[in-house]
Amino acid sequence: MSVNHSLRDRFESGLAAPICLTWEVTYACNLACRHCLSSSGVRDPRELTTDEAKAFLDEVAAMQIFYINIGGGEPTIRRDFFELVEYGLSRGIGIKFSTNGSRITPEVAQRLAGNDYLDVQISLDGADAATNDALRGEGSYDTAIRAMENLRDAGMTGFKISVVVTRHNVGQIDQLLALADSMNAELRLTRLRPSGRGVDVWDELRLSAADNRALYHWLMDHPTVLTGDSFFHLSALGDPLAGINLCGAGRVVCLIDPVGDVYACPFVIHEQFLAGSIRDGGFGHVWRDSELFRSLREPGSPGACASCGSYDACRGGCMAAKFFTGLELTDPDPECVFGHGETALAQRVSLGPRPSPDHSKRVTISSR
Amino acid sequence: MADQPDFAAHWSLHPSVSLRDESFGAMAYHHGNRRLVFLKSPLLVDVVRQLDDFESADAALDALVADEQRAALCRALETLTSSEIVRVG
Ligand code: SF4
Ligand code: SF4
């Protein structure tokens, strides 16, 4: 999808409904990935009930939101997960859900296959068990591969294999693409952001400047690889990558968390980006009227990027990446391709704020 | 070059497409090919919504669109057929 300028201005000022709505249905998870963006682990007892979840889906349908992305935690852990999926589908809502694959048995795969309105995204963070499991935990590679095989064998095509690109797997993207081909799936690469538990591993796992440059050219050469628009800060290197190329937080993107809180984006689970709760008058009210969203839809100030010739391509990058690394929102992206982010990082007065709330399991899982 | 679609045929919004009004026109989403498409004028949205009621695309354009806007509308409609938002025949 490429978008011309006047439309991008429309996006900046917000739409009648989000394009990319993520709904994390539970904070419970059977894994404990080191970079989990939502610090998931333990279920929040205040989780939306089945009735509340269905009322929310009714509103999604009424607002004519085309599709939603369901995540977590591990969403399939919710007992009513498939009931909610079926309910959403019956309302004409497209549903894509992200899973670590642990519950995608051959029987479940059969149920999922062959529905245009349903899509599945399996998380995998390396082309081999050693690379993947170092981040996602022992056995998680085999689990994910088995889920993919089950989906393929059930005849499902075009499901997604979603990879957070790190310094350890960036050299494996050709292999990951070959894996996706062999599973009749599509590869999706996304940016590692310092969100959730990711804040603790970001420095250790993030790409070097050279990696980022190589990745940009690889993405330009492989336009069918999906990115969720997450590498637009690299568009400053030349021709823009396909996508909207601006921070969509609160404009076209938002997150509903398991207790119904609405945040500007899945990567900014922090009270500063909390717009309201769907328990408080419904989602549409928050989307339209929240003060936070209104302010995010104002034309942004280019701040320290004002004199950059690539501002139009990069728009200063990702708000979440700046916020959780302790930069000002008007600073350049910490991974600014011209190195201005490194300069800003070196000058910051304090480290970034801690993500909140944290639903990590209390026991620390040794994962190194 | 793709063939020029047949404006003498009956056209309609594809059954897998959802259409949502926006201030600039509308957004359309095709649940089959997962394409998101922008309809950048209210007139285009109007025509697309009503195509099904006319026996042909030409008839819809005759009834709904002024002569001087027709060429632009035809081009916009053609792109909607290639993304399968609109179905011909
Ligand atoms: S200076 Fe700002 S706008 Fe320019 S490339 Fe860096 S982050 Fe992007
Ligand atoms: S904060 Fe970052 S991840 Fe969230 S919408 Fe903006 S650019 Fe995307």
Residue B80 lies in a domain: yes
Residue B54 lies in a domain: yes
Q: How does pLDDT run across A156-169, given as a tens digit for each residue?
A: 999 999 999 999 99
Residue B57 lies in a domain: yes
Where residue B55 sits, what CATH number does that domain have? 3.90.930
Residue B48 lies in a domain: yes
pTM of the model: 0.92
pLDDT exceeding 70 applies to what percent of chain B? 98
Interface of B with A (CB under 8 A): 16, 18-24, 27, 29, 31-32, 34-36, 38, 40
Q: How does pLDDT run across A101-144, given as a tens digit for each residue?
A: 999 999 999 999 989 899 999 999 999 999 999 999 999 999 99
Nearest CA owner, ligand 2 atom 8: A247
Residue B6 lies in a domain: no
Question: Ligand 1 centre and the CA of A212: distance in Å?
Answer: 14
The CA-CA-CA angle for residues B75, B77, B83, to 5°, reads 110
Which residues in chain A are contacts of B31 at CB distance < 8 A? 66-67, 94, 116-117
For B35, the closest chain A residue by CA position comes to A1
Position A368 scores a pLDDT of 44
β-pairing verdict for A118-123 and A160-165: parallel
Rounded CA gap, A329 and A204, in Å?
23
Residue B21 lies in a domain: yes
| Structure tokens belonging to residue A144 | 């994910």
Residue of A220, A344, A320, A200 whose CA lies nearest to A270 = A320
Containing structural domain, residue B41:
11-88
Q: How does pLDDT run across A199-221, given as a tens digit for each residue?
A: 889 999 999 999 999 999 999 99
Residue B79 lies in a domain: yes
Show the DSSP H helices in chain A as ranges: 5-12, 50-62, 81-90, 106-112, 129-136, 140-153, 173-182, 198-205, 209-221, 283-289, 291-296, 311-314, 319-324, 340-347
Residue B5 lies in a domain: no
**Sign of the four-CA dihedral A230, A150, A69, A356:** negative
Q: What is the ipTM of this complex?
A: 0.87
Rounded CA gap, A109 and A89, in Å?
16
Tell me whether the omega of the peptide bond preceding residue A357 falls within 30 degrees of 0, making it cis.
yes
Q: Going by C-beta distance under 8 Å and a sequence separation of 6 or more, which residues neighbour residue A5?
A: none
Mutate to test the pocket of ligand 2, among A252, A265, A335, A336 (most ligand atoms within 8 A of CB): A265
Instruction: Say yes or no for a CB contact (<8 Å) between A67 and B31.
Output: yes
Instruction: Say yes or no for a CB contact (<8 Å) between B20 and A16.
Output: yes
Per-residue confidence band for A2, with pLDDT thresholds at 50, 70 and 90: very low
Give Cα separations from A244 to A165, A329, B80 (angstroms): 20, 19, 20
Tell me how many domains chain B contains.
Answer: 1
